[in-house]
Amino acid sequence: EPEVTQTPSHQVTQMGQEVILRCVPISNHLYFYWYRQILGQKVEFLVSFYNNEISEKSEIFDDQFSVERPDGSNFTLKIRSTKLEDSAMYFCASRPGQAATYEQYFGPGTRLTVT
Amino acid sequence: LAKTTQPISMDSYEGQEVNITCSHNNIATNDYITWYQQFPSQGPRFIIQGYKTKVTNEVASLFIPADRKSSTLSLPRVSLSDTAVYYCLVGVPNSGNTPLVFGKGTRLSVIA
């Protein structure tokens, strides 16, 4: 069964450094998302992406964040200057184009630790 | 998305049927009810979606009464591996880019 993959599984970085989290969505999916989950808290929406542009973003997704689909298969989330409060699990998700369903396929996540 | 209310946690013994109820009093006509499951340190996983009456798949059943103001996720004969957080979401599924809005969910602990 096809699945969403994410790399790395765990990233440790120092405050102020840039990080890039990578995702490979399911190949025929058209909609892509990033969510995050701070330890012990809710899963929070960050951004959605369709047709090579951002469709919607939350208040969390400020100027420090950016997304890119550089080569038609990868989908990346960049944090330009990490803060301690960016420490969280980051999940990538994708969904097919036409299905009238709330089914999104999530990856295993990248645990980001900012020190 | 409509506001949902679920119990914070539930405990069950292995082999029992577990029913998790979600309240969504302000559900709109076009809203569907969707349940996700999240194991520790993993991404959420879609379980089931329904609009009315009953939906069943290989994992669970979803019961929705006629007024649709609540719904019940039923897990038959749970095992230790069903220990997870279960989320109820209500909204209009479409082919657009609607993000999912997760609440705190129900933490199910299955005990041997």
Q: Where are the domains of chain A?
A: 5-98
Q: Which long-range contacts (CB under 8 A, 24 or more apart) does B35-38 make?
A: B35/B60, B35/B62, B35/B73, B35/B86, B35/B87, B35/B88, B35/B89, B36/B86, B36/B87, B36/B89, B36/B100, B36/B102, B37/B84, B37/B85, B37/B86, B37/B87, B38/A43, B38/B84, B38/B85, B38/B86, B38/B87, B38/B105
Q: CA of B17 to nearest chain A CA: how many angstroms apart?
A: 25
pLDDT tops 70 at residue B110: yes
Contact, B62 vs B87, CB < 8 A?
Answer: no
Q: Is B32 in the A-facing interface, judged by CB distances under 8 Å?
A: yes
Query: Confidence class of residue B3 from pLDDT cuts 50, 70 and 90?
Result: confident
Q: CA of B91 to nearest chain A CA: how many angstroms apart?
A: 8
Mean pLDDT for chain B overall: 93
Round to whole Å and give the CA distance between A81 and B28. Answer: 41
Domain boundaries, chain B: 9-111
Contact, A30 vs A52, CB < 8 A?
Answer: no
Pick the CATH number of A5-98 from 3.30.870.10, 1.10.1840.10, 2.60.120.1440, 2.60.40.10: 2.60.40.10
Q: CA of B77 to nearest chain A CA: how many angstroms apart?
A: 24
Q: Quick check: B103 and A100 CB within 8 A?
A: no
Q: Quick check: A109 and B44 CB within 8 A?
A: no
For CA atoms A99, A103, A108, A110, the dihedral sign is: positive
pLDDT for res B93: 74
What chain A residue is nearest to B33 in terms of C-alpha separation? A102
CA angle B64, A103, B5 (to 5 degrees): 45
Distance of CA A67 to the CA centre of its chain: 8
CATH architecture of the domain covering B9-111: Sandwich (2.60)
Cis, peptide link before residue A8, omega less than 30° from 0: yes
Summarize pLDDT for B65-104 with one digit per residue, the tens: 999 999 999 999 999 999 999 999 998 876 566 788 899 9
Using CB atoms, which residue from B43, B49, B101 is nearest to A45?
Answer: B101
Strands across the sheet containing B32-38 = B9-13, B106-111, B84-91, B32-38, B45-50
Cα dihedral A93→A64→A21→A83 (10° resolution) = -110
Per-residue confidence of chain A (115 residues) as pLDDT tens digits?
A: 889 999 999 999 999 999 999 999 999 899 999 999 999 999 999 999 998 999 999 999 999 999 999 887 899 999 999 999 999 999 999 998 766 677 899 999 999 999 9
Contacts of A42 in chain B (CB under 8 A): 102-105
